[in-house]
Amino acid sequence: MKPNNWAIKPKKLATKLNKLASKMAVALSSCLLSVVVCAADTIKVGVLHSLSGTMAISETTLKDTVLMMVEAQNKKGGLLGKKLEAVVVDPASNWPLFAEKTRELLTKHQVDVIFGCWTSVSRKSVLPVVEELNGLLFYPVQYEGEESSKNVFYTGAAPNQQAIPAVDYLKQELEVERWVLAGTDYVYPRTTNKILEAYLKASGVSEKDIMINYTPFGHSDWQSIVAEIKKFGGAGKKTAVVSTINGDANVPFYKELGNQGIAAEDIPVVAFSVGEEELSGIDTKPLVGHLAAWNYFQSVESAANADFIKQWKAYIKDDKRVTNDPMEATYIGFNLWAAAVEKAGTTAVDTVAKAMIGMTAPNLTGTTAVMNRNHHLSKPVLIGEIQDDGQFEVVWETEWVVPGDAWSDYLPGSRDIVADWVAPIKCGNFNTKTAKCSGQNY
């Protein structure tokens, strides 16, 4: 009888067992190596800013700011005994792509935190993804409010920390009576202008004294629009432009103001999305006297700001590069997150988010930023006047820090709503009249 096909002679069996033992040893060695690698794992920091497209003029600097902060933190020993690793993606000023890149950061790269977005439309695109996957986003730019998520910390200005004080300044200090609300056509300018229109009308401004205009991202032909603004401002009442124009469209807008001889003495412009970075690309001499409202300017004199500017120029290796408000908001947000991680002893999102409430950090203007229960910061408000060197001279500022209000007091659907992520409410959309929470909660 022939032996079965599977039968193995003793000598061959010994050889196979030796080979199997060798493979097991390699596998065991690999497993042990895997444990070592796991023990030395990094804390991953997602960087979600446009490095191309219409918003690259503003967002690229924020990518560099996060990388600088990661490098500085690693020099201090990292966090929880681990080094930080930045994971950079480019959503390319493409709003749906922001959502895709966020999912990539959270699922493929498994980042512990994300610093990113500039426009509100990009943040709105990202929001459902970070909520679904329980990610953590730090958003560093002024925005329209009307939102508070347990997965987002808003380190830029809410309307009561920028838009409303700017309008008050124009009314009280410059005696402005007619208003041009000019913005890029997306959610932030439209909602902000809706709030400002309601605020102006409530303070006695008639509808005929308010002109509202929207243009697409990247708009370049401003000749006719600026001519309309000039005509609107020639009605015998002091007129001002409140600008929520975003991105590279600001460059031709300001150039056209100069071309048509609109000086700040005639029709001042106060901008909410124009800072030192945007002005560095244009001739600012015709723009001297126009204004911007932010929570920080590079020209602010403080020891903390001097150190930050020095650190930035050393990192970027270019003395001509400037600092701006969203950079400070990124700086504050990063420092608060790092402190919360150390306090919590983990990078787990829910634990870190709870540790963030009440956390404080020095801001660059010499006061202290506080993270409130609604996930918004308390910050100072500053009005700056454009100088011929592209910097701003601070002409007005609040005496104390102002708590960010997630929901506007001037919109009927918002004035009764509060955000509070601490017990017993634990909700970002709580109606004080009905005592009910709608939307996301714990």
Is the separation of the CB atoms in 361 and 335 below 8 Å?
yes
What the block records as the tokens of 33 is 């190596």
The predicted pLDDT at position 32 comes to 39
The domain limits of the chain are 43-157+301-379
How many residues appear in the chain? 442
- Alpha-carbon distance 307 to 94, whole Å? 35
Helix runs in 345-379, H state only: 349-356
Mean pLDDT of the chain: 91
Least confident of 26-35, 147-156, 337-346, 412-421: 26-35
Question: Which of 269, 174, 274, 276 has its CA nearest to residue 229?
Answer: 269
Is pLDDT of 12 > 70?
no
Is pLDDT of 8 > 60?
no
The predicted pLDDT at position 248 comes to 86
- Alpha-carbon distance 197 to 181, whole Å? 8
Helix runs in 274-359, H state only: 276-279, 303-316, 325-344, 349-356
Q: Structure pTM?
A: 0.87
pLDDT band for position 26 (cuts 50, 70, 90): very low
CATH number of 43-157+301-379: 3.40.50.2300
Q: What is the DSSP letter of 171?
A: H
